[in-house]
């Protein structure tokens, strides 16, 4: 697979794909004789995995570590697992924070609804006469 297709398929720019490879965020992709990248199925799986992990904010650094460990072979199984466990934990924490904010926003939105209701009552505003009341 050429870089253009991979770029299309995973919605990552060609520059980003080359960048990811350059910094070791995905393993080196083989080249044809002409020097052009030829992505294998496995390369694609790496791209997909990295895109997915980056998408929820796992740091590039950490993922580079993971790829490096992977390339070092079986002796790093334990370390790799620990890395994933750590990231799992981080994600849980972040989701808990987000859950709280979510609820806080819901509370705020409810209060806005009340305020807007009250304002509508006082000013005579309603979605129906919104257009006319605008210029007043």
Which residues in this chain contact DNA in the complex, by CB under 7 A? 2-5, 13-16, 18-19, 22, 31-37, 54, 59-61
Residue 5, C-beta contacts closer than 8 angstroms, at least 6 positions apart: 39
| Partner whose binding site includes residue 76, from DNA, a copy of itself, none (CB under 5 to 8 Å by kind) | none
Residue 93 contacts a copy of itself per CB under 8 A: no
- Helical axes 41-55 vs 3-10, angle rounded to 10°: 40
Considering only residues 60-89, where is the footprint of a copy of itself by CB under 8 A?
Answer: 74, 77-78, 80-81, 84-85, 87-88
Half-sphere exposure of 14 (CA within 13 A, CB side): 8
| Partner whose binding site includes residue 13, from DNA, a copy of itself, none (CB under 5 to 8 Å by kind) | DNA
Give the integer Cα–Cα distance in Å for 128 and 131.
Answer: 8
């Amino acid at each position: 697979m050429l870089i253009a297709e991979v770029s299309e398929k995973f919605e990552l720019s060609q520059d980003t794909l080359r960048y990811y490879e350059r910094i070791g965020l995905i393993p080196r992709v083989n080249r044809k004789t002409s020097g052009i990248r030829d992505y294998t199925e496995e390369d694609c799986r790496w791209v997909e995995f990295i895109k997915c992990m980056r998408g929820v904010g796992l740091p590039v650094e950490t993922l580079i570590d993971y790829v490096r460990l992977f390339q070092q072979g079986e002796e790093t199984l334990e370390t790799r697992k620990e890395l994933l466990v750590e990231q799992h934990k981080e994600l849980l924490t972040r989701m808990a924070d987000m859950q709280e904010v979510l609820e806080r926003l819901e509370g705020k939105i409810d209060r806005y609804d009340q305020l807007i209701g009250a304002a509508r009552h006082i000013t005579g505003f309603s979605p129906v006469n919104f257009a006319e009341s605008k210029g007043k």
